[in-house]
């Protein structure tokens, strides 16, 4: 009798273990879908804009189920929506996530990224930008009266700029090889932005050969968000004299065809980015700024 009962219990435990393994495998698979997560977040923000708070909250919860790391800005957005909807449990869930995710940051790695970020910004001061502008005027403006001495000095300063960008990329590649891409989860929001900007400024990677696969993997794994990913790809394409893929860097002085608009939006949606219709473009004297409707 004892043997029969024991065999029955063992069978039940085995069945439960199989069910648990199936459940875990399902969760693991779902936690890789960052593209759908981004698209759902965009949808939730659209609902919120139209005062459909209940729908916004439902979609946010669906989005959060798809990933193992939820970005800080999205958690803060979810907190605001859950507060409006008086969903105390979800509000507390978001706050707990925010608190716990801070503990995941690799402080020493964050400091390395921050150091590279400072170097990136220091060579983009007034002295260096003036030298760059003078160098390119001499190089490409046939009407400009170029002073040879000043040109040589400007070229020397500009070479410092190029060298710093190249050395930063070498260091960043070493970090990626050891730790993986320095995403928000690993180094925090601000340091992740610094790493992204270093890549953005590396204009010599005009074909996206050096960082192409690394960037693609970073996007899929949630370590770089769609808008910054698109900016890096499009800037490097433009540096090579090629058309943009996502129109992340607006050129409002160039007319866009309806076919181009459709292609841009198709590419944008494929990486979880908002469509062109959500862009707010402001033209200034010497620059263009972009914001997005939420």
Please give the structure tokens belonging to residue 73: 């800005």
Region 58-73: what's the mean pLDDT?
97
> If pLDDT is split at 50, 70 and 90, which confidence band does 210 have?
low
For residues 57 and 85, the answer to whether their CB atoms sit within 8 Å is yes
| Number of DSSP helices (H) and strands (E) in the chain, helices first | 13, 2
Task: Provide the pLDDT for residue 136.
Answer: 94
Residue 40 clears pLDDT 60, i.e. is over it: yes
Alpha carbons 112 and 290: distance in angstroms, whole number: 30
Distance separating the N- and C-terminal Cα atoms of the chain: 67
Within a domain: 167: yes
What is the widest separation between alpha-carbon atoms in the chain?
Answer: 104
Task: Provide the pLDDT for residue 26.
Answer: 41
Within a domain: 271: no
Considering the domain architecture, whether residues 135 and 63 belong to the same structural domain is answered as no
> If pLDDT is split at 50, 70 and 90, which confidence band does 57 have?
very high
Considering the domain architecture, whether residues 230 and 188 belong to the same structural domain is answered as yes
Task: Provide the pLDDT for residue 23.
Answer: 37
Within a domain: 278: no
Helix or strand holding residue 118 (H, E): helix 107-122
Within a domain: 226: yes
Considering the domain architecture, whether residues 78 and 192 belong to the same structural domain is answered as no
Residue indicated by tokens 């669906």 = 62
Considering the domain architecture, whether residues 96 and 139 belong to the same structural domain is answered as no
Region 19-48: what's the mean pLDDT?
73
Domain range enclosing 68: 19-102
Whole-model pTM over 0.85: no
Residue indicated by tokens 């001499």 = 138
Considering the domain architecture, whether residues 199 and 92 belong to the same structural domain is answered as no
Alpha carbons 90 and 74: distance in angstroms, whole number: 13
Within a domain: 44: yes
Residue 25 clears pLDDT 90, i.e. is over it: no
Q: Which of 55, 80, 102 is the last residue in one of the domains?
A: 102
Considering the domain architecture, whether residues 84 and 121 belong to the same structural domain is answered as no
Split into its structural domains, the chain has a count of: 2
Considering the domain architecture, whether residues 78 and 138 belong to the same structural domain is answered as no
What are the C-alpha distances in Å from 123 to residues 126, 157, 162, 228, 287?
9, 9, 9, 21, 20
- Summarize pLDDT for 220-274 with one digit per residue, the tens: 999 999 999 999 999 989 988 899 999 999 988 889 999 999 999 999 999 999 9
Residue indicated by tokens 């891409």 = 181
Within a domain: 284: no
For residues 157 and 128, the answer to whether their CB atoms sit within 8 Å is yes
Task: Provide the pLDDT for residue 100.
Answer: 95
Considering the domain architecture, whether residues 83 and 129 belong to the same structural domain is answered as no
């Amino acid at each position: 009798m004892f043997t029969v009962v024991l065999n029955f219990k063992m069978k039940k435990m085995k069945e439960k273990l199989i069910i648990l393994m199936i459940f875990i495998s399902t969760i693991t698979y779902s936690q890789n879908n960052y593209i759908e997560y981004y698209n759902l977040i965009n949808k939730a923000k659209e609902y919120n804009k139209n005062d459909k708070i209940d729908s916004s909250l439902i979609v946010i919860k669906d989005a959060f189920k798809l990933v193992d790391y939820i970005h800080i800005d999205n958690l803060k957005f979810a907190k605001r929506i859950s507060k409006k909807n008086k969903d105390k449990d979800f509000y507390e869930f978001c706050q707990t996530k925010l608190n716990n995710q801070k503990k995941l940051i690799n402080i020493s790695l964050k400091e390395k990224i921050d150091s590279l970020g400072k170097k990136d910004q220091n060579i983009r001061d007034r002295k260096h930008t003036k030298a760059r502008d003078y160098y390119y005027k001499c190089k490409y403006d046939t009407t400009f009266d170029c002073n040879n001495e000043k040109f040589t000095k400007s070229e020397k300063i500009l070479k410092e700029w190029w060298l710093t960008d190249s050395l930063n990329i070498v260091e960043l590649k070493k970090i990626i090889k050891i730790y993986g891409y320095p995403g928000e989860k690993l180094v925090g929001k601000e340091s992740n932005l610094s790493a992204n900007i270093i890549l953005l400024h590396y204009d010599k990677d005009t074909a996206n050969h050096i960082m192409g696969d690394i960037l693609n993997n970073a996007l899929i794994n949630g370590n770089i968000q769609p808008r910054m990913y698109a900016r890096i790809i499009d800037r490097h394409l433009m540096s090579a004299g090629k058309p943009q893929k996502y129109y992340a860097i607006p050129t409002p002085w160039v007319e866009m065809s309806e076919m181009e608009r459709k292609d841009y939006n198709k590419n944008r949606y494929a990486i979880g980015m908002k469509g062109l219709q959500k862009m707010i473009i402001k033209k200034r004297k010497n620059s263009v700024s972009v914001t997005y409707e939420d």
